[in-house]
Structure 1
Amino acid sequence: MARDEDRGGSKSRGKVIVVGGGPAGVQAALRASELGAEVTILESERLGGTAFNEGPAPVRALARAARLRSDATMFSEFGLEGEVPDVDFARAIDHANRVAAYANEVWHLTDLVKEQGIEVIDEVGPARFVDRTTLEIGDGRRFSGDRIILAVGGKPRKLSIPGSDLALSFHDLWDMKELPGRVTVVGGSATGCQLASILIDFGAQVDVIEFADRLTPPSDADISRRLKAAFEKRGMNVLTGTGCDSIERKDGRLKVSFTHGEETSSLETDAVFLMVGWPADVSGLDLGAAGVEMDGPFIKVDECLRTTVPEILVAGDANGVSMFVQSAAHQARVAARNAVLESQDVYDPQAIATGSFTEPEYGSVGMTEAQALERHDCYIEVIDYTALPRAVMDARTDGFCKIIVDKESRKLLGAHVLGSYSAEVIQVAATCIAADMTVQDIAELELAFPTFTEALGMAAQRISRKMRMNGAEDRG
């Protein structure tokens, strides 16, 4: 049942300006409107943001095409005959772009938002602050509000190296018509690994240069290790602990110079993508005019998502707190309540499920093994997919499922999976954490057979057996 303070009504609870029309902006606008505020969204392009127009939606479509081609290499293993299909890269990009347009052309996202009584000012270029409660757009119109929610997202970071202007960004992918013969991806975190995986499955030679000592540095170390092994098995050149020094043109190609330890070397390639970060997109916003402070590459916020100016809040990638679409939507709802009701709700996520569109996929929730061992006495169990019936049936045994359980509370602290359907499997682990289930509870779930999700239950059952053998299950 809704609380009285959550109900809207005919009386306005003030004016809210939302800057940015991606998942965070749309969610913030809708929630603020539900709470009774008068709401205006200012969007430089069209509603949907990077998530729909250039991010997860079209990337997943491109990854699907790459996966279909990769699956064709396994035909003979299943008694099938046929050639691995050729790639019409331009058509694959066109399909991804059609998916990107889905939110507006099929869902009619802009119309849906307007139908909720929200004023949408879109495709007007960037807005800039005039003062702490007023913004101006390119045509000179000004918009003032009692509260402002910034949902401006991020933009590709550039490296301060010679020749960085020769490199492509994530945005350039959607205008490409031909698949380069060799591609070098600088940056081996989630986005860089996704792009590298897609391009190698399409048939390009791929190099990955990552400054950290492993791929996907925030991930559990076993995911990093196994993902690198899988990439190298497919012929990818993975250079970790390596810094990119410069890019230059050479005989119609690009020369990438890099340093690994004390050694300097180079490689020649046809295209370079920089995937080295996603700072807040505050260009042209003139935060100084409003008195809003930055915290490194992000807008500084407190635990309630308020900036150094109380009237201004931030939701989504621009604050750097948790840079996922699902987090952006959650933050947006928190920010909207705090803006409209002047409450002190804290953004405190308990279980953020994350997944990647690499081949193989990987997914995580909660603490990594290293993080958990710093603060807890743990049970750790790994199910290798060579022992998982569904993986054997699908000939996809190059994966694993790891769960981490606190010995005292018997609660799940974290889960990490690599292999087919990882992004789906990890949702169940996240649900178990959110539901505060014990490992015994998870062990007793009657999960469908044969599935990849079954690995979670198998791991929980193994830990439960260990607890019974140690007499721990009967204590407490």
Structure 2
Amino acid sequence: MSTFDYDLFVIGGGSGGVRAARVAAQGGAKVALAEEDRYGGTCVIRGCVPKKLMVFASEFAPTMEDARAYGWDVTSDGFDWQKFHGQLADELDRLEGIYRNLLKNAGVETFDARARIVGAHEIELADGTRKSAKHILLAMGGHPVKPDTPGAELAITSNEIFHLDQLPETMLIIGGGYIACEFAGIMNGLGVKVTQYYRGAQILRGFDEEARGLISEEMIQRGVDLHLGTDVIEMKEADGKIHVKATNGEERPFDVVMMATGRVPNTGDMGLEEVGVKLGRKGEVLVDDYGQTDVPSIYAVGDVTDRVNLTPVAIREGMAFVETVFNGNPTKPDHELIPTAIFTQPEFGTVGMSEEEARDKGPIEVYATSFRPMQTLFAGREDRVMMKLIVCADTRRVLGCHIVAPGAGEMIQLAGVAVKMGATKEDFDRTVAVHPVMAEEIVTMREPVRTA
């Protein structure tokens, strides 16, 4: 008989924690999970899912314009935020119910409470109840943080944007990462007058420079008032508006200000360091390749480790944890060549190295094309798309693929398979083009535009 209450106690009911709990329980382990907020975590409740639904909603305005150009008699009375928001809330409730049922049907005992670590094998719930477990899995995720700007408390974050009572007329978004850029596109598409401040020289730091440049240009073309090299000095409330003083010398009022200036792991007041779990500079849980902390019985997956903060990665890490700990099959999650979609407008799909990264590693060839796609060209829009391959000059392997285009997320999933398999430029060239689609350009670029 086990001397512990459970074989596994999971803290956090997001994608990684729920998957690990469910799979371990289905394999016969006695599992419990504690979640202090809503089941489904950042992705389902205040991230990818509601964001993508907002992206869909925001893209109908230009689509209706296009429909008129194609001969359709389309009229619109404008966007009804209340109607959409009600349906969004219902959908998130439905998805949370699915997550709860997945755990219940797998036999996982759940606690709707905050849990802290009080020992290598011991957890304390908010009501003071203590539980013991042979293994503990930390899957608490992360949360948005605001900088120490005077008046920062007046701003919302990506958590609150889904719960606005009404759509503002004017909005300032501070930040240049993918969350800031996605919401700039969303709110602009819903009819809000959007201004975006980013202190850096170009948005989407860390991604391919050519792709970043095109997305930036297209966002401006579509109506986002983007100011680069600009930061906020202070914010004050007056006459029902938030008055923002910026480093570019401007002082402007906005109805809503959203800060998308980074996220940090949810490790505060968890009792981790007291039991010997080491944390990094941002408060991330430090783990080895198998997700194990310095305390052998405690593991961690997902955003709380601040490695690759993506939902499918957290799920993979959760699966690898179960394989390692419960199935006796030590498994390292693979963090190499992960395809990613960023739902800016235009959409961005990317896998592998940027041109800048690859250039530093050795000789490369760059194949790239930019053009106006058929659908919007016919409708008289100026939209541009881009396809780009980074190729190793020696091995001919495709090191990176970058697509800026409508549906880029769908395209990059399939391109990601080829890049992950180690496809060469000649493998791409041998593949017959699908015509007429935008993606055919990926296999029809014959001559490099430059070498490095």
Please give the TM-score of this superposition, normalised by the length of structure 1.
Answer: 0.87
* Counterpart residue type for residue 376 of structure 1: G
* Counterpart residue type for residue 172 of structure 2: T
- Residue 273, structure 1, aligned to residue 258, structure 2: yes
The equivalent of 2:65 in structure 1 is 73
- Residue 120, structure 1, aligned to residue 110, structure 2: yes
- Name the CA distance, whole Å, in 2 between partners of 1:97 and 1:70: 25
The equivalent of 2:297 in structure 1 is 311
3-state SS, counterpart of residue 128 of structure 1: strand
The equivalent of 1:404 in structure 2 is 390
Consecutive unaligned residues of structure 2, counting only runs of 5 or more, are none
- Name the CA distance, whole Å, in 2 between partners of 1:132 and 1:70: 55
- Name the CA distance, whole Å, in 2 between partners of 1:441 and 1:394: 35
- Name the CA distance, whole Å, in 2 between partners of 1:175 and 1:191: 16
Is the contact made by 1:25 and 1:151 (CA closer than 8 Å) also made in structure 2? yes
* Counterpart residue type for residue 365 of structure 2: Y
* Counterpart residue type for residue 318 of structure 2: A
Deviation at 1:283, TM superposition (A): 3.3
The equivalent of 1:4 in structure 2 is none
3-state SS, counterpart of residue 303 of structure 1: coil
Higher mean displacement: 389-398 or 295-304 = 389-398
Is the contact made by 1:428 and 1:453 (CA closer than 8 Å) also made in structure 2? no
- Name the CA distance, whole Å, in 1 between partners of 2:246 and 2:27: 53
Which of 164, 180, 183 matches 1:176? 164
3-state SS, counterpart of residue 130 of structure 1: strand
- Name the CA distance, whole Å, in 1 between partners of 2:201 and 2:90: 37
* Counterpart residue type for residue 236 of structure 1: V
The equivalent of 1:433 in structure 2 is 419
Change (3 A) 1:132 1:246: farther
The equivalent of 1:164 in structure 2 is 152
Give 1:265-414 correspondences, 5 Å limit. Answer: 265-297=250-282, 298-340=284-326, 344-386=330-372, 392=377, 397-414=383-400
The equivalent of 2:219 in structure 1 is 231
Is the contact made by 1:59 and 1:96 (CA closer than 8 Å) also made in structure 2? no
Consecutive unaligned residues of structure 1, counting only runs of 5 or more, are 1-11, 468-476
- Residue 82, structure 1, aligned to residue 71, structure 2: no
Deviation at 1:304, TM superposition (A): 2.3
* Counterpart residue type for residue 93 of structure 1: H
Change (3 A) 1:448 1:34: farther
- Residue 15, structure 1, aligned to residue 7, structure 2: yes
Is the contact made by 1:390 and 1:451 (CA closer than 8 Å) also made in structure 2? no
- Residue 419, structure 1, aligned to residue 405, structure 2: yes
Change (3 A) 1:438 1:44: same
The equivalent of 1:242 in structure 2 is 230
Deviation at 1:192, TM superposition (A): 0.9
The equivalent of 1:8 in structure 2 is none
Summarize deviations over 1:345-403 as a string: whole Å, max 9, x none.
Answer: 333323211112221111111111100110021111112133x6567567775111111
Which of 36, 44, 50 matches 1:44? 36
- Name the CA distance, whole Å, in 2 between partners of 1:53 and 1:327: 17
Summarize deviations over 1:136-177 as a string: whole Å, max 9, x none.
Answer: 111222222122111111111121111111111112122212
- Name the CA distance, whole Å, in 1 between partners of 2:399 and 2:380: 30
Is the contact made by 2:66 and 2:376 (CA closer than 8 Å) also made in structure 1? no
Is the contact made by 2:142 and 2:264 (CA closer than 8 Å) also made in structure 1? yes
Is the contact made by 1:57 and 1:99 (CA closer than 8 Å) also made in structure 2? no
Is the contact made by 2:22 and 2:102 (CA closer than 8 Å) also made in structure 1? no
The share of aligned pairs that are identical, in percent, is 24
Which of 126, 147, 171 matches 2:135? 147
RMSD over aligned Cα atoms = 2.4
Change (3 A) 1:156 1:466: closer
The equivalent of 2:117 in structure 1 is 129
- Name the CA distance, whole Å, in 2 between partners of 1:390 and 1:76: 13
Is the contact made by 1:31 and 1:337 (CA closer than 8 Å) also made in structure 2? no
Change (3 A) 1:132 1:226: same
Is the contact made by 1:199 and 1:206 (CA closer than 8 Å) also made in structure 2? yes
Deviation at 1:285, TM superposition (A): 1.7
* Counterpart residue type for residue 294 of structure 1: L
3-state SS, counterpart of residue 332 of structure 1: helix
